[in-house]
Structure 1
Amino acid sequence: MRGLPRPWDGEPGHGVSTKSTPTDVVTASDTAVETLVRDRIAHLRPGDAVVGEEHGGEVAATGVAWVVDPIDGTVNFLYGMPWYAVSLAAVRDGVSLAGAVVEPASGRVWSAALGHGATCDGRPLRASGVSDPALALLGTGFSYSPQRRTRQAAMVAGLLPRVRDIRRAGSASLDLCAVAAGWVDAYLEHGCNWWDWAAGALVASEAGAVVRVPGPTGSVPPDDGLGADAVFAAAPGIAVELAALAREHGAAGV
């Protein structure tokens, strides 16, 4: 579906539409991939609920549900950049039991099972051993809302002089996997949905990162000053100090 060098030519009418804002895009590939995943789950796990970014769904009171983001990093996909993924997690009672984040462009498979560690293509993952936030590489992301982007930019501006550097790669699930691999030392983003982090947060946690996520279906966790919908994952040696820096620079108000 992707095509080369880009899956579209920048003109309307090529299977691209928008959702919450003009910059929040969805492609025909997003919906087709989610349909494929739903069909496979229905065959392999008949009766299980599915919650997906494009087709919605509800979690049953009991049993296993599947949370799918058919293309996490749709804008990257749209422009031909290879940093995008398919994210799938099996959850029960809001807790991720197993998850996989698959990169079609590279073929890498990031996966984890609760209590059984995390791997990339079968190789065990471990978060970095950095102990000084000033030497930390921080991943982040931005909302589709212009007003929220302004607040996020202000927080990032405050953090930037206090860390090694900041990266914005464009895929929450892969950013969390990058924390698991030690490719970045931490990741902080506000406004992610359940399907964005259901698998990646488990990969990061099972790799030893300190992970904080919102309630899975919109419920608000205890107030810790990071903001109700913040996703935060960090190497254990910097997690406390970096979270404090984020609070200092307005995370709660983002």
Structure 2
Amino acid sequence: MSTARPDPRALGTLALTTGRAAAAFVREQRPAGRVDVAATKSSPTDPVTEIDRGTEHLVRSRILADRPHDTILGEEGGETAGEESLSSAGAVRWVVDPIDGTVNFVYGLPHYAVAIAAEVDGVVEAACVIDVASGHEYTAVRGGGAFVRESPSRRAVRLRAVGPSQMSHALVATGFNYVPEIRARQAQAVARMLGDVRDIRRTGSAALDLCALAAGRLDAYVEQGLAPWDIAAGGLIAREAGAVVTGLDGPPDARLVVAAPEAFAQEFIRLVHACGF
């Protein structure tokens, strides 16, 4: 059993190389047209495909081949404990979303991603999000900044979240739960927000929304019903780009995720509360 604390940069390198292999697998496996749905999760409109499952299997296999003691939490396969106890110092847990934006993937909308994050002692230390269709690679190591590469051969460019000059100019991303009753309440909150911001975007991938915020292509983000694999990788990338990522009364969780550039965050959080999210 290892007693040395893992190097976050090494974890980031493993996340990136594994993410590249997973993204290549998704590209190779996706057929023309719509993708068959193998199962559903939270509701009949929340799909899983065999390619989701195959991608997660690839990610698990590659990570455990390199780090067999680690724990892995994946959207499709749940949590599998490695040989290293999560209660021991320096324990690593990988949080994996094999295809974030599965509905887009099923329909052939080119906006879905592989997201991989590495936690050490419960804190996300390294992450990558790979936009499968564009090939853009978003990476971060805690304390080291967030970066994007347009492809593996291109130079990494540092990301910086940029807020709007005023609330009425804010372009805000959100998403909706697949459970109809929850979706109806979210729609009411978004409707209340529409009068105070420039516009709303619903792209279908939480990980890519958080990366877009980090890159300055969005001004803020709010969503409910997210799981750890939806938040972990994109959340670190947004934070390292200078965004605040928080929840209702603490860390972001299934109840609420709010993200915005630091200078704009408190004003946006107040609006989120006022709108009833």
TM-score of the two chains, using structure 2 as the length reference? 0.82
Report the equivalent of 2:4.
none
Instruction: Give the whole-Å Cα distance in 1 for the aligned partners of 2:134 and 2:31.
Output: 15
Report the equivalent of 1:136.
170
Structure 1 gap ranges (5+)? 9-13, 215-220
Moved over 4 A (4+): none
Q: 2:98 aligns with which of 70, 92, 103?
A: 70
Instruction: Give the whole-Å Cα distance in 1 for the aligned partners of 2:250 and 2:132.
Output: 36
Q: Is the 8 A contact 1:142 1:189 kept in 2?
A: yes
Instruction: Give the whole-Å Cα distance in 2 for the aligned partners of 1:202 and 1:213.
Output: 14
Query: Which sits farther off after the overlay, 70-79 or 54-63?
Result: 54-63
Q: Is the 8 A contact 2:111 2:132 kept in 1?
A: no
Aligned residue for 1:199, secondary structure, equals: helix
Map 1:142-181 onto structure 2 (within 5 A): 142-181=176-215
Deviations 1:208-234 (A, max 9, x none): 0111148xxxxxx549xx996211110
Report the equivalent of 2:19.
none
Report the equivalent of 2:58.
36
Report the equivalent of 2:269.
243
Deviations 1:114-160 (A, max 9, x none): 00000011110000142311110000000011000011000000000
Report the equivalent of 2:141.
113
Change (3 A) 1:213 1:99: farther
Report the equivalent of 2:259.
233
The structural deviation recorded for 1:26 is 0.2
Instruction: Give the whole-Å Cα distance in 1 for the aligned partners of 2:115 and 2:254.
Output: 23
Q: Is the 8 A contact 1:180 1:208 kept in 2?
A: yes
Instruction: Give the whole-Å Cα distance in 2 for the aligned partners of 1:227 and 1:162.
Output: 25
The structural deviation recorded for 1:104 is 1.6
Identity fraction in percent? 50
Q: Is the 8 A contact 1:131 1:237 kept in 2?
A: no
- Which residue identity does 2:75 align to in structure 1? E
Report the equivalent of 1:46.
68
Map 1:80-99 onto structure 2 (within 5 A): 80-99=108-127
Instruction: Give the whole-Å Cα distance in 2 for the aligned partners of 1:111 and 1:55.
Output: 24
Instruction: Give the whole-Å Cα distance in 2 for the aligned partners of 1:114 and 1:191.
Output: 25
Change (3 A) 1:213 1:35: farther
Instruction: Give the whole-Å Cα distance in 2 for the aligned partners of 1:212 and 1:92.
Output: 19
Deviations 1:166-196 (A, max 9, x none): 0000000000001000100000001100000
Q: Is the 8 A contact 2:101 2:204 kept in 1?
A: yes
- Which residue identity does 1:158 align to in structure 2? R
Report the equivalent of 1:187.
221
Instruction: Give the whole-Å Cα distance in 2 for the aligned partners of 1:155 and 1:227.
Output: 18
Structure 2 gap ranges (5+)? 1-28, 150-155
- Which residue identity does 2:263 align to in structure 1? G
Instruction: Give the whole-Å Cα distance in 2 for the aligned partners of 1:54 and 1:156.
Output: 29
Report the equivalent of 1:21.
43
Instruction: Give the whole-Å Cα distance in 2 for the aligned partners of 1:61 and 1:98.
Output: 20
Instruction: Give the whole-Å Cα distance in 2 for the aligned partners of 1:58 and 1:96.
Output: 18
Change (3 A) 1:18 1:203: same
Instruction: Give the whole-Å Cα distance in 2 for the aligned partners of 1:110 and 1:7.
Output: 27
The structure carrying a bigger helix percent of its residues is 2
